Structure formats: C-alpha cells, structure tokens
Amino acid sequence: MSSAERRPRPLREVVFVDGVRTPFGKAGPSGIYAQTRADDLVVRCIRELLRRNPSLPPERVDEVAIAATTQIGDQGLTIGRTAALLAGLPKSVPGFAIDRMCAGAMTAVTTTASGIAFGAYDVAIAGGVEHMGHHPMGEGVDPNPRFVSEQIVDGSALVMGSTAENLHDRFPHLTKERADAFALASQQKYAAALESGQIGPELVPVATRSAEAGWGLATVDEPPRPGTTLAGLATLKTPFRPHGHVTAGNAAGLNDGATGCLLAAEDVARELGLTIGMRLVGYGFAGVEPEVMGVGPIPSTEKAFASTGLGIADIGLFELNEAFAVQVLAFLDHYGIADDDERVNPWGGAIAVGHPLASSGVRLMTQLSRQFAQRPDVRYGLTAMCIGIGMGGTVIWENPNWSGARTEEVPA
C-alpha cells in the first residue's frame, strides 16, 4: 500500500475558448431540418470547433457533454459519446448526455467547467441540441399524477406558456403592450446585428436533405420575422388563455438547432495557443414555484452574486434567454433595468432567433464572448435563463480584454 500523500488540487481558472452553432430552424415538416438528424447537427458543431482551433490536438479533449431535453431517437443513446465518435474524435475521448430542460447546454458548460477547475479535465466540449420537429416538447413524458392530485404543483406548471400567463397575473404591470414592444425590439436588434455582420461568424453551415427538394445548405437562421410590427403583434391569438397576454410573437418559437463550445483551463489554453474568449467567474442555479418558472433567473443570479462577491452594478452586458418576453421583463424590473437598456441582448434574442431548448445556453455564451471582444470597457457579463419545472440558471463571465475603464453603473 502506497504511503504517498495525495496530490493537492488547487482550483484553476476556466476559460471559454470558442463557441459555434448551427443556423436555427423552424420545427415542423416545412422546416429546414425536417429531414436532418439531430445528432448530425451537433456533430457539425463539434467538427467546426476542431476546424476553427487547429492548435488543439483532438486527443487533448477530455470530455464531451451534450444536452438534449428529449433523449430518445436521434437525440438518445448518450448523445455526448455518440456525437464525439461521429465527429471523428479519438475513441479514447469519453462523452455523456445531460438534461436540465432549457438550461441543458448551460449545465453542460458549468458541469465540465467545474471538472476543469477541479483538475479532472484540461479541455472539454460542451453543447446542446434540440430537434423539436422530430421530438415535440413533452414527447414520451408521463408526469406522475401525484403532482396535481396532491397539489404539489398547479396543472399550469407543466405548460410553459401557461406559466408565462401566470407571471403576467402575478405582476400586472408587465403588460402585453410591454411584452410586444420588447418582442419587436428583439426582432429589430437581431436584424441590425445580421446586417452589420455581428450575427453570422458563429454559424456552421449544415447540409440539409429533403425528399422533395433534394439537398440544400442551411446558412442563415429561419425563425426571424423582420417584418414584425407592433400593430401586427397586437392581433395575434393568445393560445394559452382566452384574452391572455402570451402570443407567438412575444415568445420564442418551436425550433431545431445545436450549439457547441470549447472550454479549457486557462494555463492549458495558453500552452496550446488557444484564444481566450472569456473567463468563468461563477454560476448559480435556483428553484422557484413551477407555476411561475419565469422568475427563476432572479434567485439564480442572486446565488451567483453571493458566491462571487459581485452585484448587478458590476455587469456591463446581459445575454438573457427570451423564452417569453414577460420573463425577461420580470428580471429587468427586479433589478431596475429599463426594457430598452442597450446592455441587454444587444443582438436580439430568442424571440427573434429561436430557442431550441437544451442548446440555447451556449448561444448566449457565444454571443457574449464575441461582444466582449468588441467591448474592452466591459469587465463582467451575465448569461441567464428560466428553466422548465420552476428553475433559473445564471453564469457570470469576465472579459479578458477589459481595459480597466469603468462601465456605467446601474441602480442596485
């Protein structure tokens, strides 16, 4: 028996090296990915990360964590491992699947990043995929009847759109008019970012197949509606409640897509000559009443602030997932941030570009990393999202390009 003392494990800095995503598509038989496999979407992301970072030997990847909310069919079979094999990584590289509904990719990042900080990994790939055309939300799910019969949750807690209506009820000042205005701004900001070339460099072209149209190439996002107007938004139906507030215009759609990112210990990234896009500061996940799951990012952000010593005044950029406009508005109101604050989703959000559930967390991170490169005046940024069944997730990042200049403070 060895008498040697165990090796000490000092925590290491973890960096976000690079992030990519497929163009997002509309779910359904007419969507661009209707006849394209979900696992092939995430394989494209993994291959593109390796192509864009040629100084990384594939055998240096220690883990592949891929999230999917519905882990059956072409999103099943431990998709992190199978996607790694299909992407051509060495068979020695392990992988796993992970699920935290909308925050699947976010959790893939925080889980592997924690492993890197602990010293279990040097380099990891994390991401997510959701093909809602092949796997509609809730496919194969059998909720325990005790949830409702024992009044553990209200029946509306299991319908995401209904939870958004509940949020409007709880905070009447979050009106449909405010939600529609926020949704319109998301479309307009996305269109401006696309026109200026901010949206595009992170996209991975995907070969698509159609029995009717043959082969194609997906190069742009399918969901955005550039012709959106406030007048048009006001006429849309409220499918979750008669005379309600939530519509197809002020919520994210049903979408297909995949994301992937490369994480590494900072010293390893420098050793390999990899770009450092941003540095992980801390994160938090929190549970809330499932009936109002949209408030989840508020307590998760408070947990992230408590563990890092930061506060809302320290954050210079926000990437908030727009599952529903009202959910973002609740977050902004809580922190005294204006609906049109330029620091919030400067390139638009999920209402415009789409929300393929488990993949979206890495989209937020990828955009924040690219914004950091253009904003040396900003030191800290935040990515956050609400999560089904009553949760929230927040990750705080530091800009390695920070110049030391102070950013404008906001009310605490």
The 10s digit of each residue's pLDDT in 213-227 is 889 999 999 999 999
C-alpha 364/C-alpha 16 separation (Å) is 12
Residues 285 and 70: beta-carbon distance below 8 Å: no
pLDDT at 3: 61
| 406: pLDDT strictly greater than 60 | no
Name 138's Cβ contacts closer than 8 Å, sequence gap at least 6: none
DSSP codes of every residue in 311-370: -GGGEEEEEE--SBHHHHHHHHHHTT--TT-TTBSTT--HHHH---GGGHHHHHHHHHHH
Q: Reduced to 3 states, what is the DSSP secondary structure of residue 36?
A: coil
pLDDT at 100: 97
The 10s digit of each residue's pLDDT in 358-402 is 999 999 999 999 999 999 999 999 999 999 999 999 999 999 999
Name 145's Cβ contacts closer than 8 Å, sequence gap at least 6: none
The 10s digit of each residue's pLDDT in 379-389 is 999 999 999 99
pLDDT at 5: 78
C-alpha 63/C-alpha 114 separation (Å) is 12
Burial call 8-40: b when 16+ CB within 10 Å, e when fewer = eeeebbbbbbbbbbbbbbbbeeebbbbebbbbb
DSSP codes of every residue in 255-303: EEEEEEEEEEEHHHHHHHT----EEEEEEEEEE--GGGGGGTHHHHHHH
Identify the band that residue 117 occupies on the pLDDT scale cut at 50, 70 and 90: very high
Q: Specify the range with the lowest mean pLDDT, choosing from 81-95, 206-220, 269-283, 300-314.
A: 206-220
C-alpha 126/C-alpha 68 separation (Å) is 12
Instruction: Pick from 3-17, 57-71, 142-156, 200-214 the range whose average pLDDT is largest.
Output: 57-71
| 411: pLDDT strictly greater than 60 | no
Identify the band that residue 168 occupies on the pLDDT scale cut at 50, 70 and 90: very high
One-letter identity of residue 178: R
Count of alpha carbons within 13 Å of 330, Cβ hemisphere only?
A: 30
pLDDT at 404: 86
C-alpha 304/C-alpha 366 separation (Å) is 20
Residue 42: exposure state from Cβ atoms within 10 A (0-12, 13-18, ≥19): buried
| 228: pLDDT strictly greater than 60 | yes
Enzyme catalytic residues: 102, 355, 386
Percent of the chain at pLDDT > 70 equals 97
Other beta carbons within 10 Å of 86:
17
Average pLDDT over residues 251-279: 98
> Which of residues 308 and 6 earns the better pLDDT score?
308
Residues 21 and 202: beta-carbon distance below 8 Å: yes
pLDDT at 208: 95
Average pLDDT over residues 247-252: 98
pLDDT at 170: 97
Identify the band that residue 405 occupies on the pLDDT scale cut at 50, 70 and 90: low
| 287: pLDDT strictly greater than 60 | yes
The H-or-E segment that residue 395 falls in is strand 391-398
Give the start-to-end residue ranges of the domains of the chain: 14-133+187-228+234-243+247-397
| 184: pLDDT strictly greater than 80 | yes
pLDDT at 124: 98
pLDDT at 407: 45
pLDDT at 354: 98
Distances (CA, A) of 171 to 50, 69, 111, 241, 334: 46, 29, 34, 17, 11
Assigned CATH topology for domain 14-133+187-228+234-243+247-397: Peroxisomal Thiolase; Chain A, domain 1 (3.40.47)
Q: Specify the range with the lowest mean pLDDT, choosing from 122-131, 143-152, 180-189.
A: 143-152
Burial call 163-187: b when 16+ CB within 10 Å, e when fewer = bbbbbbeebeebebebbbbbbbbbb
| 86: pLDDT strictly greater than 70 | yes
C-alpha 259/C-alpha 153 separation (Å) is 32
Global pTM reads: 0.95
CA dihedral in degrees (321, 379, 372, 384; nearest 10)? -10
Identify the band that residue 172 occupies on the pLDDT scale cut at 50, 70 and 90: very high
Residue 401: exposure state from Cβ atoms within 10 A (0-12, 13-18, ≥19): middle
Average pLDDT over residues 312-338: 98
C-alpha 389/C-alpha 133 separation (Å) is 22
Pairing of strands 14-21, 278-287: antiparallel
